[in-house]
Amino acid sequence: MKNLSSFTLVLALTALIFSACGDAAKVADNATNAVKETTEKTMKVVKENAPKAMKVTNKTSGYQVGDKAADFKLKNVDGKAMSLADMTDAKGFIVTFTCNHCPYSVLYEDRLIELHNEMAAKGYPVVAINPNDPKVVPEDSFEGMQARAEEKKFPFVYLFDDNQQVYPLFGATRTPHVFLLDKEMTVQYIGAIDNNAKKPEAVTVNYVKDAIMALENGEKPDPNFTKAIGCSIKTEKI
């Protein structure tokens, strides 16, 4: 009788252990399925939104050749706000991000004056824009711009991107950095003014002039992109 009771107890314990194991396995299976389902949902969301994320990333890189540029309104050194639309007689615009302090920009000042005087007559004025934060480089303050424009007798507008909102739209990274726009505000050329920043007498290719002449002849600029050589645009680090 005692042996029977012991055997019954063993059977009961065995049944309890198997039941517990079964419940544990069930819990483990449920957890695995939940993780799998969550992973699949996450991958689906990532896959669906990847093109959107890539599009935003590309957008922040600035204009590419063939893109339509948006107009803007910035303060000129004469104190008046100006936009490209205000230049009603223009056939295009030599939008040039430049500044006071950068040695490369200084090297190109006389060439920019010459470029404007020659090409504005053809309908392509220089539109100079200072993109630098004067809190980082005091020489590039608005007052400094006014003094420099007076000293050099700039024949072109010299605008201040005081909130640093325009240069990121263009994707400018250097001073100087040129974006040639046509009448429809389409970007036709991006890059350097010519092929020798340090020695104007050694220039053999005038990229901007050649690009404008191509447009005047009903052709596409070739090259339509070159590497801008100059100083980095100065902005406060966040």
Distance separating alpha carbons of residues 47 and 29, to the nearest angstrom: 27
Look over the chain and give the mean of its residue pLDDT values, rounded to a whole number. Answer: 84
Query: Per DSSP, which regions of 52-203 are E strands?
Result: 73-76, 81-83, 92-97, 126-130, 157-160, 174-175, 177-182, 187-191
Please give the backbone phi and psi of residue 95, each rounded to the nearest 5 degrees, phi first. -75, 115
Tokens of 110: 């006389």
- Percent of the chain past pLDDT 90, that is, above it, reads 74
Helical segments of the chain, H only = 2-60, 103-119, 142-152, 166-170, 207-216
Burial environment of residue 109 by CB neighbours within 10 A (0 to 12, 13 to 18, 19 or more): middle
Peptide bond into 176 cis (omega under 30): yes
Cβ distance 141 to 170 under 8 Å? no
| 207-216 vs 103-119: helix crossing angle, rounded to 10 | 20
Nearest partner of 111 among 215, 174, 219, 200, judged by Cα: 200
The top-level CATH class assigned to 73-232 is alpha beta
For the entire predicted model, the pTM comes to 0.76
- Percent of the chain past pLDDT 70, that is, above it, reads 74
Give the pLDDT band of residue 37 (cuts 50, 70, 90).
low
Mean pLDDT across 133-153: 98
pLDDT at 137: 97
For the cut 80, the answer to whether the pLDDT of residue 57 exceeds it is no
Distance separating alpha carbons of residues 33 and 179, to the nearest angstrom: 55
Distance separating alpha carbons of residues 20 and 26, to the nearest angstrom: 10
Helices and strands in the chain, H and E counts: 5, 9
Instruction: Please write the tens of the pLDDT for every residue from 190-207.
Output: 999 999 999 999 999 999
pLDDT at 61: 84
